[in-house]
Amino acid sequence: MQRSTEGPAVRPSSESRRVRRAAANAGEPTLDFGRVPYDEYVRASTLHRLQRTLSDDPGEMSFLVISQVMELYFGLIDFELAGVQDKLRAGDVWGALLPLRRAGLHLEGLNAGWRSLRWMTPHEFNRFRNLLGEGSGFQSAMYRRLEFRLGLKTASLIRPFRHQSDVHAELRHVLGEPSLWDDVIALLARHGHDIPAPLLTRDFAVEHTPHAAVESAWVRIYRDTGPGNHLRMLGEGLTEVAEWFGEWRLGHLKAVQRSMGERVGTGGSNGVAWLRRSMERTVFPELFTARTVMD
């Protein structure tokens, strides 16, 4: 996400100005503007022009809008987790907790999207599915970027974007960078936990392989239940993110089962079977395996 480089479309205000305006309006909202400030900030009129359905079927509008809302959530969650990484790299564990909390809440909001599509049976989906061609959520660049950020890395999955040079370059950059989990492991090492050096200097474009040393570090961290144990708080925040992300993946699987059963996926995969396999890859794995041996 980038800050706008355009001129100020919304005039800044202040508490005193708002009080004077309310008094002049006798408590009623202001109705006369040159350009509506809300629209200048939110770009609502632009957002509502982005829904271009391919059919006259009313259900397609739900499918399209929820897909677009999810895309916005992917970008928002990725933005928050990048902020968490910045804080962790600076050694500010306490400062990382708030954006991590926000990411968890955004993931909760993201999951609500699946509930809006529970009406969709194969009959409803098939009324417009063929018009989608080979278009598939599998091809979401922002979702792929979020997966990489969380540590689920597969280099071949950036190939669909090779003809979009800017998107491809961004994905290649995030692929090669340490994931959030890699940054957490580096943080554990800086806090005195015995993390093998190869885990800190490995090829970050390759998915992390769970390691007993990382698991042991989390066992030790969770033994300290004092209020000042920020690493334990970090572990709980990461757990929430991992759980909500897992819920989203499960919701995706259920939505596909509901709308198309075991059919081949729109983007060429074997659909449900591919989603089941992808769910076997765990986000922040040692944070969960450590719980088996915690006191």
- Residues in binding site: 129, 252, 266
Q: What residues form the annotated binding site for heme? A: 252
Q: What residues form the annotated binding site for substrate? A: 129, 266
DSSP string, 223-235: H--STT-HHHHHH
Whether 77 contacts 142, CB under 8 Å:
no
Kindly state the DSSP code that residue 203 receives in the 8-state scheme.
-
In angstroms, rounded to a whole number, what is the distance separating the alpha carbons of residues 183 and 200?
A: 9
Distances (CA, A) of 72 to 1, 48, 156, 161, 263: 10, 14, 24, 19, 28
Whether 70 contacts 110, CB under 8 Å:
yes
Where do runs of H (alpha helix) occur along 26-121? 37-42, 44-47, 58-89, 93-115
Kindly state the DSSP code that residue 283 receives in the 8-state scheme.
S
Residues 6+ away with beta carbon under 8 Å from 1: 75, 76, 79
In angstroms, rounded to a whole number, what is the distance separating the alpha carbons of residues 50 and 38?
A: 18
Other beta carbons within 10 angstroms of residue 231's beta carbon come to: 18
Q: What are the backbone dihedrals phi and psi of residue 205, each rounded to the nearest 5 degrees, phi first?
A: -80, -10
